[in-house]
A and B are shown apart, each in its own frame.
Chain A
Amino acid sequence: MRSIAFERRTNTPKWLRIAVPMFGIAIALVLGAMLLAWTGHATTGTYRQILHRGFTDPGTFATTLVAATPLLFTGLTAAIAYRMGVFNIGGEGQLFIGAMFASFVGLGLGSAPTVVVVASMILAGAVGGSLWASIAAVLRDRFRCNEIITTLMLNYLAGILIQYLIFSSHSYWRELTGTGALFPQGRMLSERAQWPNPHIGGTPVPFGFIVGISFAVLIFVLLRSTRFGYRVRVIADAPAAAKYAGINARRTTFAVLALSGAMAGIGGASDVGDFRHTLDPKGLQQAGYGYTGIVVAALGRLNPIAVVFVAILMGGLNTAGLALQGPDFPAGLVGTLQGLLLFCTLGGEGLARYRIVIRRRAGSASRSAAPRSSSPRSAASPTEAPGLATGEVGG
């Protein structure tokens, strides 16, 4: 009997790592062109518009950065945790709690100098996101609760909590005077507490985006060049070796989850400081930044630097999608095009790492246990997708 199996490549050639995503994008463009033609839309015109309205038009690039900022943070959230095989699905909730903490501080320090308020909000957001992620860390450590489940559940809890603060209570966050009497809404930050918007090359850049890039670089260095990063990599790639080497996996897991949550929390702080200037549970829950961040991290192969570029790419696709849609171009078609691109690129990623083999079944099962992570990490992509790094493959 024959069977088809995915077998892990023991060594992924460098050219393949570059060729595959390119090929994935090409496939997506071809499929997308077929879809566009089939629905009666101009193919090249549409692609040109995506490029123009998402990226090259200076006016809309500012919008792209706005859309990219929260995704940068939630992308980092996922990338850090997944790098160690800790599946933090809770970027969403950690971002909510970060926004809650940061708005608390931002409202309280309203009259302090901007630099003090901004720094305090970033810190508060980080603490909030960290604490929320630590709940899952404790549950994992003490009760062996799967963090996928707990972080997911904590997302709902965080959503209900911020909703309660604005809609169902007279909390510190809620505006009760003026129009607040007409519709439940959060108090607005004072002008001084709103984050600056420096212009770089004529394009206004959200301050949070600059903060996000700084953290991306820091985390890249942390994972690559420090003892902590080394421990993370050993635990992820060779748990047994880590144990022999006396690496404290528990403590490292805590640290990674806390750091991961801190990123989402700062994303929440940026949402309040950069954009909404208030705690907006309804808007935050619609946005789904946390979940999109998982896609961003996967597309960036968990490389913090790549996450920056993928976040911009996703932000641009979003901005271009808004520009495209209208009575003749339904939102669903925009979403399908975006989905094709993501699916083909991520699907190709799997092929770069695994090969498809056809073999006889009898007695071949043991062969599937391919050696793990024997591929040397190249400078260009020092990380590997988590599911692939830790999952067993078999025929």
Chain B
Amino acid sequence: MKRTAHIGAVTIAAALGLAACGSSTTKPAAGGSTTTQKPSGSSDNGSATCGKPSGSGAYKVAFVYVGTVNDGGWTTAHDKGRQFAQTNLGDKVKTTYKATVKEGPEAAAAIESLIADGNRMIFATSFGFQDSMETEAKKHPEVCFEQATGFKTSANFAEYFGAAEDTDYLTGMAAGAASKNGKLGFVAPFPIPEVIREINSFALGAQTTHPGATVQVAWTKSWFDPTKERQAAEGLVAAGVDALGQGQDSPATGEVAKAKKLPWAGYDTDQSANFPDNWLTATVYNWGPYYQSRIAAAMAGTWKSGSYYGGPKDDFVGLAPFGKLVDQKTKDAIASKLAGFKDGSFYHLTGPLKDQSGAEKVAAGKALELKDILSMDWFVEGVKGSPKG
């Protein structure tokens, strides 16, 4: 399991008026990257009263992961981010982590243990850690807390996430072009807005390079469960799909694709080296620079709480290198859309959009508002499966 969910919620929370995040964002910037707040922090609900260095030793920072650091996906990517920050900040900082921490009381225990060890800053990378993080943040105002994918914030508790739906549109383009029969499969974790908008984006992207393409969804109800992921992928292949995408933490889907010699678009981590023959590309999060800047801010006493929702524009989300199955024409098409995301001239969740029944859901020319995106509970036309799981 993992992580989760959700979203940038931050932004979301602000957009829905659910939380006093103090953000004024109301919709994603065109270009899809809804950067509500820069990591440096423009939020007004936090000032750096937490995370002040104590003592003279290295500044201690800890990460709480839901998976193993070698899951080849979500947690691997976060741990690479941790190492990036550690390398760039050098000896002044000492980072550590706790892996395979279970959501619930055990997460609270891990955080307590880390604080007892002298850590001044805690990053947690699963949605399911949210309640524990909130409670611990209240108990330890001297420590800075940051959580990926959640939506609760307080003076010493910030949130961060990225607009994977933007780059999933691009991976969908690659998968659509690589499919021969136009039937794509997507191995998906939970029927939640985050995942639903990723699937929709994947389908919309596929339909641009392969008109009429469909995306069949198989739910695993788990963030990280290689066995279930593999079974789901096999089920999709048996149902006739000839290209696979995923929103899971592990590359198990890619292994099925490899065995069946089918193109595969991954998620979270660049797996091109392990899947040279069937790799397309993947949405990858660029956690490292964010971690580095946040840790540096906490050390300098300028850390502020807030909700950060990065996108292609600030390179928070991007694409892994292309595999050999992606032809030049597709690469060029993807490059131009990516440029559009970056300069704000293109946003894919713009009408006309039809739902699964073929009824028009979003009128032509109307871009979806952030709150609609963050609470998306319907599939676009061409997606097969139920958005209820």
Contacts and interface: CB of A to CB of B under 8 A. Distances in A.
A203 interface: no
A319 B389 contact: no
B151 interface: yes
A67 interface: yes
B5 interface: yes
A276 B190 CA distance: 20
Interface residues of B, number: 46
B389 A167 contact: yes
Interface in B83-108: 95-106, 108
A163 interface: yes
Contacts of B264: none
A60 B116 contact: yes
A35 to B, nearest CB: 19
Given A67-B106, A179-B13, A179-B151, A53 B18 contact: no
A275 B102 CA distance: 13
B311 interface: no
Contacts of B13: 179, 182
A181 B98 contact: no
Contacts of B389: 167-168
Interface in B76-131: 95-106, 108-110, 112-113, 116-117, 127-128, 131
A367 B222 CA distance: 52
A282 B374 contact: no
A183 B131 CA distance: 13
Interface stretch (A320-328, A338-346, A358-366): A320-328
Contacts of B113: 53, 60, 63, 319, 322-323
B233 interface: no
Contacts of A327: 95-97
A318 interface: yes
Per DSSP, chain A at the interface is: helix
Nearest to A184: B192
A102 B99 CA distance: 31
B7 A167 contact: no
Contacts of B375: 181-182
- Which of B7, B68, B389 is the most central at the interface, judged by chain A CB atoms within 10 Å of its CB? B389
A283 B107 CA distance: 10
A66 interface: yes
B16 interface: yes
Interface string A31-75: 000000000000000000000010001011001001100000000
Interface in A205-229: none
Given A182-B6, A182-B151, A183-B192, A325 B98 contact: yes
Contacts of A163: 221
A286 B99 CA distance: 14
B105 A59 contact: no
A280 interface: yes
27 contacts: A57-B116, A59-B116, A63-B108, A63-B112, A63-B113, A66-B108, A67-B105, A167-B190, A167-B191, A168-B191, A168-B389, A179-B13, A182-B7, A182-B374, A182-B375, A183-B6, A183-B151, A184-B190, A184-B191, A276-B131, A278-B131, A280-B104, A283-B128, A319-B109, A325-B98, A331-B68, A331-B98
Given A59-B116, A181-B16, A287-B102, 18 more contacts: A60-B113, A66-B109, A168-B389, A182-B6, A182-B7, A182-B9, A182-B13, A182-B151, A183-B5, A183-B151, A276-B131, A283-B102, A283-B104, A322-B113, A326-B98, A330-B99, A331-B68, A331-B98
Interface of B: 1, 4-7, 9, 12-13, 16, 18-19, 68, 95-106, 108-110, 112-113, 116-117, 127-128, 131, 151-152, 190-194, 221, 374-375, 388-389
Q: Which 10 A-B pairs have the closest CB atoms?
A: A283-B104, A283-B103, A63-B109, A326-B96, A323-B113, A286-B102, A275-B105, A168-B389, A331-B99, A322-B110
